[in-house]
Structure 1
Amino acid sequence: MTPHEHAGIATAGGEGVEIESHSIDYIPESERHAKLSSQGPFWFLGNFHFFTISIGFVGPSMGLSAGWTTLGGALGIMFGTIFMAFHGSQGPEMGLPQMIQSRAQFGYRGVALALLATLFVFVGFNVVNVSLIMSGLKEVFGLSPALVAVVAAVAGGLLAVFGHDVMHKAFKWALIATLPLYALVTLALLFGVGKGGAGAASAATAVSAAGAHAGFNWVAFITQFAIGASYNISYAPYVSDYSRYLPKHTSRAKLISAIFLGASLSGTWMIGLGAWLAQQLQATDALVALNQVGAKLFPGCGAILVVVSVAGFLPIIALNTYSAMLTLLTGVDSFRKIQPTRRARVGAVLAISAIVLVCTLSIPGNGVALLNTFLVLMLYFLVPWTAVNLVDYFFVRKGRYAITHFFTPNGIYGAWQVRGIAAYLVGFAAMIPFFSIVDNESGKEIFVGYFAHQMSGVDLAWLVGLIVAGATYYVLSRSLDLSAEEKVIRTIGERDILAMTRQSAEH
């Protein structure tokens, strides 16, 4: 590595644009320059966009009223954010990306199981992200979907290449741009602006039919809750990627509170906004609906809303690309040592962006239906991992880890950790009879397990997975020799960590 790479950032073109060089390595305390005050706004914007608005369409499409959809979505968002926020506290305490730390539960090589699940989430999220942008811009401006997909993937990839600091700045400016506009749309809906328009209803037959009898039903309510929960649980594998530059002794309680408030407030707001757009305008596309409301306010407002919404959403694409890059590099490094240089980061970002483009352009279907199905699948894959990771961190090892041993298969965590792998697989297997995967666009059942059938399609698989995987891991971990681990931990200082990570990279 060059001296600049060891310093963590580099300056491009002499103009103060900072390019991050760290990836899956340890962040020294001398480079922990992030501030706690940035976490709340960062994660507020993480949910403050039209993707989250689209989640509010799910309840009305199943016959749930806007009020019940908002409540179900809000409760789900808050439930999922609990897990997300507690994962976020691991960043400053460990100074590592989330999935490197998971080697303690799954082993140096065994972590590949969790990496496959999380990589599916990151790539899948961006496939849905870009699909929603493509369909929205085609409806509003008639733009070529393929061209839109390329531009969105390239813009998100570029931000991911610049990394942590530039992405935090992009989130800040995106929030400044979108906050007043979404506030304006919310006020407009409260005063009935846009109600009854036909612009967003041309493709809304299913939503309109369901909305005509909108009320309450348990299947729709639980589905909306589960989708809201899965949406923020999905941040669990990468929230600490963006908190690892905070000082080591950052208050855990304050950090958890900042992440929880930021992510849950914006998520609740946007899901509620989507629910009312669906009920009042029969909306099935968030960008089309925003354009419709804006057009009723004053000429050109609709176009401004759409353009700013898409521009403000690009950092979210970068967020998924960046964490997918960390996950991919961790996976490769688990089997073949790599140097965590800027070249490796750029190569991983290019590969991930290419995969997203190929998948986006080859997968047909309605954006909201794709969104619903993907969020359900994502929850199934992530729940056993988040249960194992949090139980280990807060109840088994209680935040005490030998960081140098994350970088070798011969350390105290070994190449394969049977406890974590077994708990994940047992938790996932226990969920299968509770799976409820339905294509909302056609109403066709993709896979509905025995118990889900008995409960009329109510999906409780996520709850079963959390309990079974977490409990299984806790029981299996009773045989761990934590006193021996503690003796190793006490001998390790930051110089040892830096030497080990450097040696690991140069291996």
Structure 2
Amino acid sequence: MIETRSIDYVPDDERHGKVSHQGPFWFVGNFQPFTLALGFVGPSLGLSLWWTIVAGIAGIAFGTLFMAFHATQGPVLGLPQMIQSRAQFGYRGVLLPLIGTLFTFVGFNVVDVVIIKSGLQSIFGWNPVVVAVVITVVAALVAIFGHDLLHKTFRVLFWVSLPLWIVLTCGVLFGGVTGTVSTPGGFTFVAFLVQFSVAASYNITYAPYVSDYSRYLPRNTKPSAIIASVFVGASASPAWLIPLGAWMATYLGASDALAGINQTGNDTFSYLGSVLAVVSTLVLVATMGLNAYSGMLTVVTGLDSLKSVKPTRNLRVMTIVVLAVAWLVMSLLLSNATTALNTTLLIMLYLLAPWTAVNLTDYFFVRRGHYAIADLFTPNGIYGAWSWRGLVAFSAGVLAEIPFVDLPFFVGPAAEALGEVDIAFIVGLLVSGVVYLAVTRSLDVSSELAFIEASRDVADPASAQDISTTVAEEDNR
């Protein structure tokens, strides 16, 4: 059935998720050609195979930590990620980070369509326009049916993909695939840092998604269990595919992920590459559905922040359709502009890193997981329309990043001094987290307890205004 929930609270009697599903879900989310292509970065900069593997795995481990800790918010609050962010930025102030998340979701889908249609055209000669339309329709349908179908689709693809990748990997490890070292490489600190940063940023961009897919878990889900499940799932597949991609780049000179999969697979076993290319495409399409679903939640959150809307099923469907048309048109118009698209995604990372720091600092160190759910749905609640603390910390992080950015049209002085290595997102994480801790020292979170208690069992956000007003009046008396 088509999911009815969107940005509204998921009550306890609808919590049917399982922690055991989180690992395979995020494993498959990264078990696709985009991840494999991360392994091309190091060799392209002269980094050796083994140093690429070390830098890639270290970066993935670092970035996944931030992503995994966001997953704990879903079971506790039963809300999408960006609705919870209103506690840090305010009911309307959350529009600022929403810009970054929306462009990330849409941007990823544009890049995914470009990868798929160009890859399938080169392998099978399929019409790229037809491919783009078909995969867009499929991804949109998966997103429209929603949370449960996304989880089931990823579980099926997990079991379909796993044996194929195992066979291909065995072919590489045990000599079934032969190749000559086209780019032996060595070690340079600059290349190592670039590979580390690219890998670390990869899973940080998943941070705005995570609680969208954990909010149906029971409220009493152990934080350690879900953190471990998400971390292992989201890091294991990149830790597998990045070394494989690095091997393809080093020994085969691969620069196209789908083409590399096709060549390596067919060298291992007849038609394995062709089958794996199709299955990898299906995984990428499912991931597009993931982006579309979270993109819908972002758009509806933004609309609701401007003017309160009723989160109906029709609104969900219409929003996904509009997003699908948008990314399809852009992917057709910008078919040869993947560099520009990747630059756009990098800029969005500059916005997401400070947001992640503010959100996690608030959740684990300031409010410690205690929020008045009803007040997240009204500008007149305890979190207000604009929360200066979150906005200041976020802005400080973004400003601190500027000297460290490395973009085609601008290289910051600090990045230039580092040999054009982009560590801006790490700077943004540190600065925003520290500034938020500093500005919240004057925040009296104990004054929020009455509101939290009053809204503890709220299942209907429409009643948020009444509850918040009632509690405020009682507090004044």
TM-score normalised to the size of structure 1? 0.89
1:480 aligns with 2:447: no
Deviations 1:149-205 (A, max 9, x none): 1111111110000001111000011111111111111111113344349xxxxxxxx
1:493 aligns with 2:456: yes
Distance 1:419 1:503, change over 3 A: closer
Letter in 2 for 1:449: G
- Say which of 411, 417, 422 aligns to 2:387: 417
Equivalent position of 1:69 in the other structure: 52
Tell me if the contact between 2:381 and 2:465 (Cα under 8 Å) persists in the aligned partners: no
Distance of 1:120 and 1:387 partners within structure 2? 19
**Superposed, which structure 2 residues align to 1:192-211 within 5 Å?**
192-196=175-179
**Superposed, which structure 2 residues align to 1:188-337 within 5 Å?**
188-196=171-179, 212-337=183-308
Deviations 1:109-136 (A, max 9, x none): 1100010011111111111111111111
Equivalent position of 1:351 in the other structure: 322
Tell me if the contact between 1:91 and 1:97 (Cα under 8 Å) persists in the aligned partners: yes
Distance of 1:213 and 1:275 partners within structure 2? 11
Distance of 2:117 and 2:395 partners within structure 1? 36
Letter in 1 for 2:206: Y
- Say which of 323, 328, 352 aligns to 1:382: 352
Q: Name the SS for the 1:409 alignment partner.
A: coil
Tell me if the contact between 1:109 and 1:334 (Cα under 8 Å) persists in the aligned partners: yes
Distance 1:213 1:41, change over 3 A: closer
Distance 1:359 1:128, change over 3 A: same
Query: How far apart are residue 503 of structure 1 and its match?
Result: 6.8
Query: How far apart are residue 84 of structure 1 and its match?
Result: 0.5
Equivalent position of 1:13 in the other structure: none
Distance of 2:8 and 2:278 partners within structure 1? 37
TM-score normalised to the size of structure 2? 0.94
- Say which of 11, 15, 29 aligns to 1:32: 15
Distance of 1:188 and 1:286 partners within structure 2? 17
- Say which of 312, 334, 341 aligns to 1:341: 312
- Say which of 84, 104, 109 aligns to 2:92: 109
Query: How far apart are residue 288 of structure 1 and its match?
Result: 0.7
Query: How far apart are residue 138 of structure 1 and its match?
Result: 1.1
Query: How far apart are residue 237 of structure 1 and its match?
Result: 0.4
Stretches of structure 1 that go unaligned for 5 or more consecutive residues are 1-17, 198-207, 438-444
Distance 1:489 1:456, change over 3 A: same
Q: Name the SS for the 2:440 alignment partner.
A: helix
Q: Name the SS for the 1:143 alignment partner.
A: coil
Query: How far apart are residue 51 of structure 1 and its match?
Result: 1.3
Tell me if the contact between 2:6 and 2:316 (Cα under 8 Å) persists in the aligned partners: yes
Deviations 1:314-356 (A, max 9, x none): 2111000000000000000111121111100000100111111
Size of the aligned set, in residue pairs, is 466
Q: Name the SS for the 2:7 alignment partner.
A: coil
| % identity of equivalent residues | 52
Q: Name the SS for the 2:10 alignment partner.
A: coil
Q: Name the SS for the 2:65 alignment partner.
A: helix
Stretches of structure 2 that go unaligned for 5 or more consecutive residues are 467-477
**Superposed, which structure 2 residues align to 1:399-438 within 5 Å?**
399-437=369-407
- Say which of 168, 173, 176 aligns to 2:151: 168
Query: How far apart are residue 294 of structure 1 and its match?
Result: 2.2
Tell me if the contact between 1:108 and 1:407 (Cα under 8 Å) persists in the aligned partners: yes
Distance of 1:412 and 1:125 partners within structure 2? 35
Tell me if the contact between 1:177 and 1:312 (Cα under 8 Å) persists in the aligned partners: no
Distance of 2:345 and 2:44 partners within structure 1? 16
